[in-house]
A and B are shown apart, each in its own frame.
Chain A
Amino acid sequence: MAFWIVVGITMAGAAIAVFARNILYGVLGLAFALAGVAGLYLYLGSFFIAMMQLLIYVGAITIAIVFAIMLSRPLHLEMPKRNMPKVVLGCGASALVFVSLVAVAFKTKWVPAAERGTDWSVETIGHLLLTRYDLVFEVISLVLLVAIIGAILTAGYSRRLSS
């Protein structure tokens, strides 16, 4: 029962995030959906990833989006008329993707691996991160560093140019 409540929170949050007119409600819906996904991770047996989801997504990304909204004030004032064929095409495209994804998910015969380990601990994750996935770990840190510098430069230079 609680599982279906979590699934419902996720889907309702996603719907609010996509369809809300006011962008602040959209961010709120996104936070709901991300918290719901964190709950699903708990059901999938990974406490660590659920906490990371709460920390990184709900704690950091959502707050950053709220900051950006508050820095750029009159957001939803100007709304030109929607172009009806474009709306229909967009709905059709995403419905097509949804139907094909679900068809693939349910038509395929998923076979579990012959012998499956039971080692879910954080220790193993940390060990693998520093041994087998060493290079990827370092590259991710580099990407984050470049992203931070790039974000500062992009936001800072435009201020200097415009004022």
Chain B
Amino acid sequence: MNSLGTYLFVAAVLFSMGLLGVLLRRNLIGMLISVELMLNGANLNFMAFNRFLTPEPAVGQIFTLFVMGLAAAEAAIGLSIILALFRQMRSINVERAQQLRG
């Protein structure tokens, strides 16, 4: 059970679920949630390779920490953009946001 393949499979499931959500949802917050899922899939991959393959086990953990920091920045910026868009358009539907095209 505790093998590299299992973790890679779970990470692939998380990543493609997130991709499906980004492609399918019309709600901007829903898309943001799906992006977080994709980032977690990538993180899980890093940690699995770190556990089973790499020569230095600390490096993968540091990578994962960096990805978490970037995800926090991305969530903050994304949420504030969504709030600004909501105030402007009274909606957070992506199809309504096409008006931004001008």
Chain A residues 22-53 with CB under 8 Å of chain B are 23, 26-27, 30, 33-34, 37, 40-41, 43-46, 48-49, 52-53
Name the B residues within 8 Å of A119 (CB-CB).
Answer: 56-58
Is there an interface contact between A143 and B70, defined as CB atoms closer than 8 Å? yes
Instruction: Please give me the residue from chain A that is nearest to B32 by CB atom.
Output: A65
**How many residues from A make CB contacts under 8 Å with B?**
87
Question: In the complex the two chains form, what is the Cα distance from A100 to B51 in whole Å?
Answer: 23
Question: In the complex the two chains form, what is the Cα distance from A112 to B53 in whole Å?
Answer: 4
Is there an interface contact between A115 and B61, defined as CB atoms closer than 8 Å? no
Q: Does B59 contact A (CB under 8 A)?
A: yes
Interface string of B57-77 (1 = CB under 8 A from A): 111011011101111111111
Question: In the complex the two chains form, what is the Cα distance from A27 to B30 in whole Å?
Answer: 8
Is there an interface contact between B43 and A136, defined as CB atoms closer than 8 Å? no
User: What residues make up the interface of B, taking CB atoms closer than 8 Å to A?
Assistant: 1-2, 4-10, 12-21, 23-27, 29-30, 32-34, 36-37, 40, 43-44, 47-48, 50-59, 61-62, 64-66, 68-77, 79-84, 86-88, 91-93, 95
User: What residues make up the interface of A, taking CB atoms closer than 8 Å to B?
Assistant: 3-4, 7, 10-11, 14-15, 17-18, 23, 26-27, 30, 33-34, 37, 40-41, 43-46, 48-49, 52-53, 56-57, 60-61, 64-65, 67-69, 71-72, 75-76, 78-80, 87, 89-91, 93-95, 97-98, 101-102, 105-106, 110-120, 124-125, 128-129, 133, 136, 140, 143-144, 146-148, 150-152, 154-155, 157-159, 162
